[in-house]
Amino acid sequence: MAFYYDEPSHTFSEYLLIPGYTGPDCLPSNVSLKTPLVKFAKGEKPSLTLNIPLVSAIMQAVSGDRLAIALAREGGLSFIYGNQTIESEAAMVRAVKTHKAGFVSSDSNLTPDNTLEDVLELKDRTKHSTVAITDDGTPNGLLLGMVTSSDYSLERIASGAKVSSFMTPISKLVTAQEGITLQEAYDRIWEHKLNTLPVVDKDGHFVAFVFRKDYDQHKENPLELLDAQHRFLVGAGINTKDYEERIPALVEAGADILCIDSSEGYTEWQKRTIAFVRAKYGDSVKIGAGNVVDKDGFLFLAEAGADFVKIGIGGGSICITRETKGIGRGQATAVIEIAQARDEYYKKTGIYIPICSDGGIVHDYHITLALAMGADFCMLGRYFARFDEAPSEIIQINGSYMKEYWGEGSARAQNVARYGQSSKKKLSFVEGVDSYVPYAGPLHHTLEITLAKIRHTMCNCGVLTIPDLQKNAKLTLVSSVSLVEGGAHDVLVKDSLNHPQTM
């Protein structure tokens, strides 16, 4: 006989948090949103930690390199979508790792014999205006000079003019020796009033640039998620089909963590994928797995060696798996059960495996509920798809600006590798829809508001950290009538701009 659960599964909207004692130190400015990204042993610290508990979904309409840079700047992490060629995904990962922070390897390099036309073509291709001039045109050749937009004028210099005639030669550049610390480099930039500081090795070969603007951006974004070389952290999505070729390319490109992108994670295929990583790289390469919705699924992936486990089936706004296949579970119930399994596993083994709530987030407060229920961080798709930095197009519909947003199980995505319905290159049936979401401008401002709500709610609960929220939160189920009571009711609302909206 089939197994039946005693209670129905619940969504986040069916729960509310009960306030706790708010002490004098419980201020939003004192709240830490740091949370582990990968598993760790008791008494140790995780090798990767998020500064905010948010990651972006492994979706074509969400997680390209632009969003990965913007989200890492805020303290979160993107998983570059895997439904593309290995080469293009690796290129996106590489673009994030070389974009920023501290010592930047140059992707814009020419020789003195190149022309202004070459400079302009390179600038158009890379979107970078600073060009290193080396003896062989490579990023590690002998540094001979530098070209920036202030070195030439299209009205005064012919397009065929050689770079050597207008570049700033090495004799007039302030440079730094390899081994200088980032703070020392910034001190030199300020001392000499520079915008760019080239770094060279003892033989004069070019190593990297340090940019003044990066220092300014870091001051404005103190939660930036950076690696030991002060580069942005970035994740990458993989599948259980071509992982033997895709994973090495992504690791070589610099991906800090991988995640298996699948509609259902309780499978032999995920176990084999994780085993490949462990056999080839040991624990040096981090990999998340999922999705699962119960204790059995979590324990399977934990024993398989996953560094984190992703929770949720059918709860995404563009996902129709539940109505197509009758598979899934209410997101709140899934998180609660798996959080309990995670804690039991930790007590038994001394290994803490973070869990990620993926799907079912409609309002900002749902994020806080997911964390209170035990999630270490949340994966969001629709939320991030609305922003400038997401890859999809901005279009106008009935006078309103919207962005395209489609599911990986939709006919548009044709992500056969994720859903594994057949060996053909076309889905047998769809599990996602093609849709639009309201355009929300640049990421920073809206995300700032979302994080402020989380911090304020945590203070209302009397906690300053996510682990304390998970330990001390009090939650209550609500009735359908109390849901009506909780919003504006029995009045005509004047200003809809001040009324809470679905994010």
Give the count of beta carbons closer than 10 Å to the beta carbon of residue 57: 26
Residue 464 makes CB contacts below 8 A (sequence gap 6+) with 25, 26, 30, 31, 32, 458
Residue 156 makes CB contacts below 8 A (sequence gap 6+) with none
- Identify the three-state secondary structure at position 8: coil
Token pair in block for residue 275: 């085993």
Q: What angle do CA 200, 206, 210 make, to 5 degrees?
A: 70
Query: Of these residues, 94, 231, 319, 356, which one is catalytic?
Result: 319
Q: Which of 359, 357, 385 is nearest to 62 (CA)?
A: 385
Burial class (CB in 10 A: 0-12, 13-18, 19+), 457: buried
Q: What span, in angstroms and rounded, lies between the C-alpha atoms of 147 and 131?
A: 5
CB 93 within 8 A of CB 234: yes
Is 461 annotated as catalytic?
A: no
Burial class (CB in 10 A: 0-12, 13-18, 19+), 417: buried
- Identify the three-state secondary structure at position 117: helix
Q: What span, in angstroms and rounded, lies between the C-alpha atoms of 268 and 278?
A: 15
Is 319 annotated as catalytic?
A: yes
Token pair in block for residue 228: 């030991």
Task: Establish whether the linkage from the previous residue to 195 is cis, with ω within 30° of 0.
Answer: no
Residue with tokens 């355009």: 439
Query: Of these residues, 356, 418, 459, 461, which one is catalytic?
Result: 418
The full 3-state SS of 218-281, as one line of letters, equals HHHCCCCCECCCCCECCEEEECCCCHHHHHHHHHHHCCCEEEECCCCCCCHHHHHHHHHHHHHH
Catalytic residues: 319, 418
